[in-house]
Structure formats: C-alpha cells, structure tokens
Structure 1
C-alpha cells in the first residue's frame, strides 16, 4: 500500500501527520475539522483541552464548509445531530452556545478514537490522547508546531477536504470526473459540463502533502504560503510545449504536475528530467491512486484526483508505468533528444 511506502524509511513527524490526512478514511468531514482544530490549538500551548474548548474551532470549520457544500458526510439523508446543529446555526435557528454544546455532546463520538488510524491500524505516533471530557495534547503535536513544514499543514488539510467534498457535492462518478489545471489562477477545477465549472482547490496545496513539502527534484523544503521566499512553483514534469508534438497528453493533467523550488523550476526550463525521476513521478502518482475510497464503496463517489489520474494514465499500475515510460521515450527520442536535466545538488530523498 502507498501509505506504507509513505512511512517506509525513517519517517519524520510531519510524515505521520500527513499520512493521517492523506490516507486515513474519509467517510465524513470530521477528521479534517479535527485536523484543522488541532493545528490551531497547537500554537496556544495548552496541554489539557476540554470538549467544549475543542468544539469551538471544530464546529466553526464545519459551519464554514457547509456554507460551500451542504453535504459533509456520506449518508447525508441521515439526521446527524451535529451536522444538523451546524445547519441550524447557519440559518440563525440556534445560538453559538447551543451549537458548541451540541458539538461537545455529539461531534466527537467516533473521530477522536479513529483519527490516528491509517489502513485500519493505529499509528505509533499520536498527537493527542483521548481523556474523559476532552483530550490531552502530546509532545508530538507541540513538536510538530515547531517544524518548518507546519506553516503548510492548514492549507494541505483544507485542500484535502475540498477534494473530498467535491466528490460529495457533485456526486462524481467514474464516468463524469474531469479535473483540469488553470495555469493563470494556479488552481484545480472540475468541468462538470460545457456551462459549469467548479473550482476545487489550490494546485500547490493539493500537491504539497504528497511530496512531503519538498521540491520534487532536489528535495529542499518548500512552502505554499503566498509571498514566501521558498514558495514552491507548479512545474510540468514533461514540458508544456511537448503537447505540440502530441506527447504527454493531457499535458495539464494532475499526473504531470509537480511542485519544484524556484531554482529547479528555472534551471530545468523545457528540458527533460533525468530518467531516474520517472520512478519518483510514478510513486507520487500512486499516492493519489491509493487514496482511500470509503465513500465510493457506499455511494459510488470517487476522490477527484484519483479518478482523473487513472483516466489520464491507466486503470492498472502496469498501464500507468507504461504510460509515463512511453511518453519519456518519445520525448527523449524526439524534440528533447540530448536535453536531459538534473539539479546540481540534491538532498537525500
């Protein structure tokens, strides 16, 4: 499983966090709301957090998302008290105090126990422990808040949440998915039909977690914070102009988009990355493919990037490997002959 590879060799604290967000099951919005709440609370330094205290950011994030997408769990026809309370709050039917009280009573019945589970197994690293009436924050969460990557996590969770709720909102199935990249706005969007486009999320935010916050080529830390000195840039692994030769179609497909540091992006230009980066591209793409599909099993709904990537490159891993290899050989034998590139220096992968 890709989540096992993600944590295979000397995983860092950031990798454990990202594995929860990327590979934990997403049957509802609860995990994402809890993830964003923990990131917010981590900066406050409190060790003991009551359910009432946790309920404020937790409900706030769900309320915000319900305003964009009213479906925030699979079985949306069921009257879940917590989701119903959030809807009532949005309509002005209940007070914030009532919302927080309902959240504390109904919102945490499952998510606190399941948050650390990946592939149905609890991780060895925990960011909080459940206690009677609340949670106890562990040193791991405080240490996480001190890492260079911490600034990226909120946007990464938000991107993951937006991707999942897009499937819920549009009732996306295998035959309807279409994910495209808007180069001007640097966002991913779905083209539902000729007259309807739905913006999904920032491309940087969607890609960054799957690359562990590193430049795809040299492995230096990058940021997705606008204005940051080390802002990652969206790069086409196969150069954009290859589309003129019928190579690497669709050139703007998620399979061909990676995040690179500014130095690598400028240095690479239109050249073809060294062949050894094909394996890295394939593994990154397989992270998308192995994204849990719990919601698919119940309602036939799919993770947008997973389905888009499989439609673009192949339904089986063998087909996907063949797809990127064939494009590489065509580019190397044609317009990019004798034009391969690799960075001058590369940090350990």
Structure 2
C-alpha cells in the first residue's frame, strides 16, 4: 500500500471492500465518503492516523476529522463539515495514490475509476474488486487490512514514525499477538497479519481458513521444542516460522518436522511478505541475517534444516 505517512489508504480499502461486497458496481463519491470518514473518526479516537508532526494547521483533513469526530460519532454519520472536507480530500489525495507502490510503480490491477464532473463524481468499482469482495478470501483480506492499519498506528503512537517498521516486531506467545518491540504493546494478531500471504489457506493441509468460522491455531513450522533440544542459533519463536493453520491440523502435526511441501509454502509465504510493502517485511529481513543480502529464503530454510539434522 505504498508509503505509510497516513492511514488514508486503509480507510479507503475498507470502504471499497464494503461497497463491493454489497454488489455495487458504481456509486457516488459522496456515498463512498461516508464509511471512509467514519472509519477514520473511529480510529482517531484510538491512535494517531499520521506520523508525528505531519498534520499541518486546522484545515488539514485529519485536523478537521479530529474536530468533527465526537459529533460524527454521536450522529453515526459524518457532519456536513467533515463530509465536505472528505469529498474534497479523497479525489485529490488518497484516490490518486491508492494504486501506487512505494518505489515500484503501481499495482497491475486497478480497483476503481473516478468519473464525472467535480460536483457529481462517480466511483466505478472494477470486476476484480467485486469478485474478491465476495470470495472465500474476503474475511481474511479484511483481517489483513485491519492488521496493517494497527501496525502502522502503533508506529505513529510510539512517536517514532517508521522506526517500528524498521526495528521489526516480536510475538507474545501467550496471546499470539504481534507486539511492538520498543513498547511491548500488542499490535495485531499473527493470523490477521499473515493469512492473506497464504492466500487464506492453512499451511499444513492447504484448505481455506475462514476467520470467525474455523478454529484457527498458529503453527511453529519448525517445532519450537527443537530450540531446547538442539541449541539452535536460529530463533524458531519468531514470525518467519509461524503460520496460521486449522487448529485440528496443528494438533495432528504436533512436534513433527515439517514436510517438504510445508517448507515450500513457508518459503513462498515469506517471500511474498518480503516482496510487499507490508510492515512485517523488516522483521523477516532481520530474521534472514546474512541471507537477506541475497533474498534467499530457500537457502535460509536449508540452513535451519542443516542445524536440525547435524
């Protein structure tokens, strides 16, 4: 989702998914602006929505949203002032930049087009967006969006801008929540952050995982018990080695070593994160150590396997 200076893209992504899930092929910008603005005012009350020092003056859109948040929440709809500011800001800012990738051009598929005159703009949703919004992966996609939003908010709340992303994150094994290393506060769930990079599928059986319906566990692909038995130099209790799975599959796997197809899925999942602008990317880079220079997850996994089998 490009550079994370503000959280506008998360709010727009949420609004687009909701509209597409309702079967809308097109809708007035004014209508899309309502859930967009309300998402932001809900989040403003919980955490900063921009990196420190980037909100400039009382006319800045986030400043207006902050001023109008309490009344908008009371009404259940954005105030007229907030709605007007939203309709002015969206086409000029987030809707122009939504498809951009930081340092890598644009995503290959566009999710919408904006047409019409300035006072009557229409947002046309692409067939691809409408398809994915009602697919079996929709729930995990929404969970991933919320997870990314939470990670970026945490970096803003820490007052350290992007350094949360630069320093990586850790995992609280009691709650299976990703935590901010510096503040030791929970950020988001492991499953929500990573299931999208597994295409919404269990790493063990490769069948779909449906959040809210299936019982889900987080599997240590290389069993954590190996750490004590073999005195490994690689941390198996880290994000790179954790994968959402069906609870039943995880229970049946127990402490057995991963099979070749599971390792292949782990490599593909981690490479997908590394090739994305996801905030977990830096965490995986740190785990790779010297292998990061070559971007070699297969080599890293072979290195871990060699330590286990020596």
The interval holding the TM-score normalised by the smaller chain is 0.7 to 0.9
Residue 163 of structure 2 aligns to a residue whose secondary structure is: coil
Name the counterpart of 1:165: 153
- How many residue pairs match? The answer is 294
Q: Report how far residue 174 of structure 1 moved.
A: 7.7
Contact 1:208 1:224 in 2 (8 A): no
- Counterpart Cα distance in 2 of 1:262 and 1:248: 28
- Does residue 61 of the first structure (1) align with residue 48 of the second (2)? no
- Does residue 216 of the first structure (1) align with residue 210 of the second (2)? no
5 Å matches for 1:174-185? 177=167, 179-185=169-175
TM-score, structure 2 normalization: 0.83
Q: Report how far residue 162 of structure 1 moved.
A: 1.5
Distance 1:174 1:110, change over 3 A: closer
Q: Report how far residue 212 of structure 1 moved.
A: 1.0
Distance 1:321 1:72, change over 3 A: same
Distance 1:130 1:189, change over 3 A: same
Q: Report how far residue 139 of structure 1 moved.
A: 3.2
Name the counterpart of 2:99: 116
Name the counterpart of 2:219: 235
Unmatched runs of 5 consecutive residues or more in structure 1: 1-20, 294-302, 334-349
- Does residue 86 of the first structure (1) align with residue 65 of the second (2)? yes
Name the counterpart of 1:45: 23
Contact 2:7 2:149 in 1 (8 A): yes
5 Å matches for 1:179-328? 179-192=169-182, 196-225=183-212, 228=213, 230-244=214-228, 245-247=230-232, 249-292=234-277, 303=279, 305-314=280-289, 315-317=292-294, 321-328=298-305
Distance 1:318 1:127, change over 3 A: closer
Unmatched runs of 5 consecutive residues or more in structure 2: none
- Counterpart Cα distance in 2 of 1:38 and 1:286: 27
Contact 1:177 1:190 in 2 (8 A): no
Q: Report how far residue 239 of structure 1 moved.
A: 0.6
**1:176-235: per-residue Cα shift (whole Å, max 9, x none)?**
73522223322111131xxx422110111001111110112332111222xx1x343210
Contact 1:27 1:74 in 2 (8 A): no
- Does residue 332 of the first structure (1) align with residue 309 of the second (2)? yes
Contact 1:217 1:260 in 2 (8 A): yes
- Counterpart Cα distance in 2 of 1:204 and 1:306: 16
Q: Report how far residue 248 of structure 1 moved.
A: 6.3
Contact 1:29 1:72 in 2 (8 A): yes
Contact 1:129 1:137 in 2 (8 A): yes
- Counterpart Cα distance in 1 of 2:127 and 2:72: 40
Distance 1:319 1:39, change over 3 A: closer
**1:319-345: per-residue Cα shift (whole Å, max 9, x none)?**
755443222122234xxxxxxxxxxxx
Name the counterpart of 1:147: 135
**1:80-114: per-residue Cα shift (whole Å, max 9, x none)?**
62211111123659972211111011233132233
**1:22-55: per-residue Cα shift (whole Å, max 9, x none)?**
xx45443121111100122223333332222111
**1:64-90: per-residue Cα shift (whole Å, max 9, x none)?**
222222242586143462211111123
- Counterpart Cα distance in 1 of 2:232 and 2:175: 24
TM-score, structure 1 normalization: 0.74
